[in-house]
Structure 1
Amino acid sequence: MLLDNAEDAQRLVREPSSDERARAAATALSDTETSVSLLTPKLAFGAMSPQSAKTLSLAYTQRAAIYHTTSKLIGENHVAVGQDREESSWAKIDFEEAASRDFAMGGRLGNEIAKGLAVSTNPTAKLCGQMVREAMKKEYGPDYGN
């Protein structure tokens, strides 16, 4: 989005109402889902232009960012997901898993940021890391890793 003047920028900074925030979230998710559905090849290994792959990777990465942010806010009850959306019944772990999957897809399509975030947001990898840290603390003492 291009801004015409400083007043437009100021409107972006102010605190939106919960209705405005919900509409913006619904629009963002709807737009990214439309992008994903239109750009995804019909065949699993179908040909794709470099520009389509880049755009699709950005759509996956943007949707993953929305899901990732939602997973962080859901514990604070700041999330308002419309009842007409599939996500309305999701728990925190569902948002984390969806974010990890979308980051992984964005990474497979060439987005370097998504590649890095796919690993760090993967709930299974985080649990494995916690288990390894606990085992190392038991083995080497409570000061391990500090």
Structure 2
Amino acid sequence: MTNPPSSLSKNDARVLNALFDAESSLSSGVAISNESIPAFATDIEIKQRESAAIIPLNSPQPSRPSVEKAIAELDGIINERPQYASAYANRAQANRLLLSAKSDDLAAMDLFSAKGVQLSQSILKDLTSAINMATPSPSAAVPTTDARLLSAAHTHRGYLLLQAAKSISTSSADSASVKLPESLRGLSSDTLEEMASMDFFWGGRYGNEVAKVLAVKTNPYAKMCGAIVKEALQEEMKQYQPTQ
């Protein structure tokens, strides 16, 4: 790959390098350690309770009572161990399942309706809590378990932000039907999509392959470059005159 022209700013050069070498950009910068962190007896007991709570949810269509029971158990774990990041991420996922269990509508649409807005706020809050608790200092390696948690939480939050952006952009004729959580109100569709792209970026860096793809597809610089290239090609086609 050739280096960007010297007339570009350092920031623009970094952006272009990231766009044209996306795989390298997404896979670098996060050191993941395979060493396990010594667990205390209380940690083992909490983990066992958490696993017992979420195992019944590992089915194509868990029942509403099963989901509610899991959420209640995760509530108890969080009350006992408010710094236990994994329980927040799992409670967020369980609450998403609760929306699916109570309606035949698409969960993403329910999240941003009057019926689901409070729950969507809780889900985003739990994901943010999990991310904040599990994110290491810049110089520290990330334990494998934390990397998996961060990968899932960033990707989940990115998906919700992307759905919020799409809900706004596709409902301009009936904006009253879209109810965003308080933390997202007043943000434009473009801003929400940029926030989603950043979450996908981190989800990819922590190992989620789907997030890596979505990070590039939703990257505003990539979309801008794609639009410029498309416009240039269209202009070139207009000027092209076939030989007789």
Q: Distance in 1 between matches of 2:219 and 2:155?
A: 14
Larger CA deviation: 22-31 vs 109-118: 22-31
Larger CA deviation: 16-25 vs 104-113: 16-25
Q: Deviations over 1:113-143 (max 9, x none)?
A: 0000001011221121011011011112399
Maintained 8 Å contact 2:114/2:178: no
Partner secondary structure for residue 115 of structure 2: helix
Structure 2 CA distance for partners of 1:71 and 1:5, relative to 1, 3 Å: closer
Q: Distance in 2 between matches of 1:142 and 1:70?
A: 40
| 1:48 paired residue number | 142
TM-score, reference length from structure 2 = 0.51
Structure 2 CA distance for partners of 1:11 and 1:118, relative to 1, 3 Å: same
**Does 1:28 pair with 2:123?**
yes
Matched residues, number: 139
| 2:104 paired residue number | 13
Structure 1 runs not aligned, ≥5 long = none
**Does 1:81 pair with 2:175?**
no
Shift of 1:14: 5.1
Structure 2 CA distance for partners of 1:14 and 1:108, relative to 1, 3 Å: closer
Superposed counterparts of 1:45-124, under 5 Å: 45-75=139-169, 76=171, 77=175, 78-83=177-182, 85=183, 87-124=184-221
Specify which of 126, 129, 141 is matched with residue 226 of structure 2. 129
Structure 2 CA distance for partners of 1:10 and 1:99, relative to 1, 3 Å: closer
Shift of 1:79: 3.0
Task: Read off the aligned partner of 2:198 and give its amino acid letter.
Answer: R
| 2:134 paired residue number | 39
Cα RMSD for the two superposed structures: 2.6
Structure 2 CA distance for partners of 1:93 and 1:38, relative to 1, 3 Å: same
Q: Deviations over 1:70-95 (max 9, x none)?
A: 11111212431243x2x212111110
Shift of 1:112: 0.3
TM-score, reference length from structure 1 = 0.83
Structure 2 runs not aligned, ≥5 long = 1-53, 68-99
User: How high is the sequence identity, in percent, across the aligned residues?
Assistant: 32
Shift of 1:12: 3.7
